[in-house]
Structure 1
Amino acid sequence: LVRASRSHVAPLRLPHLLKDVPLGIKEHPLFYQVWDVHLGEGQSMYLYDAIMEGRPYPVEALFIAGSNPLLTWPESSRLAEALKKVKFLAVMDLFMTDTAKHAHLLLPAATFLERYELCDYYSVIFGIPYMMLRKKCIEPLGESRSDVDLWLEVARRMGFGEHFPWRSVEEVLDYALKPTGYTFKDLEEAYPSGVWFGAVNYGEYLKRGFKTPSGKVELYSETLAKHGYDPLPTPREPLESPYGEGREEYPLVLTTGSRLIFYTHSQLRNVERLRKQCPEPYVEVNPDTARAYGLRDGGLALVETRRGSVTVKVKVTPSIAPRILNMPHGWSEANVNLLTSRRPADPISGCPELKALLAKVTPLQP
């Protein structure tokens, strides 16, 4: 096992100022904090009820930045109802996304070419102890602003200036970099191509053990047991099982979330060269399934679950098992999240089940 040193920057979060417990944490406490690791996020699947029903407390305003939940979150129709109900919705993005169309206020974000950004995540993602400053190439066009500039302005106007005293992105990055011994100017001028820090540690667990209470790989987890969860990995049927209720009406299994190498979630479909490689949404079916349901390659079909229906082109391929339907996400033209469920399937994290949903398919063209 390999662990790379991490750059420890000064935190900008202020969790002690939160007046309410983040959504879903009472139901899923380990999603918020495990041992001494403070993840600091609520479970977003509980946002729907907070907006629509005021449970566990009402949410009347939202600020969505760099996200398109109407295409990437489950049960899109329910989320659309929720976004219409909030009294104020602001969206900060580069494009007029499906989510941005619901906003009362759309704020144009600066692209990566128009802002500075500290890239200190290489050690976490790639195991490389490396840090660099992404440089601003041009000034922001039009009325676009960097995320940091916007949040500093919002903080000042909301009366939190004492907690956000910086006047520029450069000052914020100087504050964040202080524990590393580097400054914004260092990374911009002295080390424009970045700096190495720490080391890559191989076999560290042989001396120090793992960062678990026992110091070992825990196949049996005392932590899970104390919270009332199964302490051992336990196989369970999906909430919507082909061996359970509903299988007569919905005899197939829909799986979603498969990655398309040309796109990232709902991004990049406006890039012509990429769109040519994968021009339209589709549902993948096995040849046996296609024959059984009268589907033809390139024909249209109606895919349905208990939540809704989507019309989409059929792609017949032997790479998908019989009785399985596979639909990638992120398409406005055929939003698979109109079919998915937000119901928490994993009792520990509260995450929904997006890989096993009962479905049926009907050909729309002979």
Structure 2
Amino acid sequence: MQTQLADFIKDTPAGREADAILGACVHCGFCNAVCPTYQILGDERDGPRGRIYLLKMMLEGQDTSARTRQHLDRCLTCRACETACPSGVEYGKLLDLGRPLIEAKTRRPWRERLQRLALRKLLAHPRRFGLLLWAARLARPFLPQQFKSKLPAPATPPAPRPTRPHRRKMLMLEGCVQPVLAPSINAATARVLDRLGIGLVPVAGGCCGALSHHLAAQEEARAFMRRNIDAWWPHLQHGAEAIVLTASGCGAMVKEYGHALRHDPAYADKAARVAALALDIGEILAREDLSGFKTTTPRKIAFHSPCTLQHGQKLGGLVESLLVELGFESVPVADGHLCCGSAGTYSLLQPELSQRLLADKLRALQAGGPDCIATANIGCLSHLQTQTDVPVRHWIEWLDESIAPGPDL
């Protein structure tokens, strides 16, 4: 694709990156075939190819309107288009470059601005989010039905984490909404790794920055990144092997720290190392000897592979293989490449499209009559739980409950 970027961006780092991404696109349209919003709406502007053209027009200085912003807002950032693209177009990075520009060029209605600000200032901070959830539960009898259905039940306090000392040490991103909605996920991860002789070092942390990043507050996102790097760095210098990621949305973001901070002289090298050491819990288990794990309660399981796991981190099929290896019966899931509609804050900002995608996803997951549904991201987990009676949990929790502990390590 040939471009003539406008002077305001042409000779900037962002402009050069955008130009390279646009130049790789050959207009083939393979991306539209896997795009969830294009499949629902059938509008070229609601598919990756059309959105690329809209971004190109904006970067070339052509008029940008609220309609342009609407089509970009409808994008899930699922990145299924990247998996399908034969030319390696980094659509997600192009959209990230375009988001701050569209915010600057088209002023949102005040309600939208307030909603997005509230999401950034509440969800990314565990204490604030916890208080908000507590207040919402108190007010539940007075809430409209559409909000009641999305309100999660109080989380069961997790069992204490292991305290046995181990020679091998790893860190873990605790996250922002996950410790509030499902603290059992990280506790289960600690128990599984403890059985493998790996200890988790408790490190204060919070949001990975993804929420702010995808809401066009990219300097705010970089502040979250720097804070996490500062918290992890001393432990990495003292031999911590990896940073364990149990939410695939966070994993996709942390693995981009090197790219996001590449122009920051104080953090570029540290960010690159952090990104290299960031591993999804599935990647960690795939490297370990799991022969000592004996499945005592095998289940018929349907796995929903989050977009951030299969398209963002390119780890499609990894967890499914692990579950089968460890004794679970895997239920085939049709159209497994499609998004469930959670997509970070998307379910709140685009509820109609989100609910249509959720209904399609649950039909596919439940078609094989599974005993349970597993996933690898807290957003997907919470979203799926709202419309099904089949138990939905993170796959590491099902694994933790299903394996008998081996001899003390």
User: Which one has more relative contact order, counting CA pairs under 8 Å at least 6 apart?
Assistant: 1
Q: Considering the TM-score relative to the shorter chain, is it more than 0.5?
A: no
**TM-score, structure 1 length as denominator?**
0.26
Larger radius of gyration: 1
Give the number of the structure whose residues are more often helix, by fraction.
Answer: 2
Give the number of the structure whose residues are more often strand, by fraction.
Answer: 1
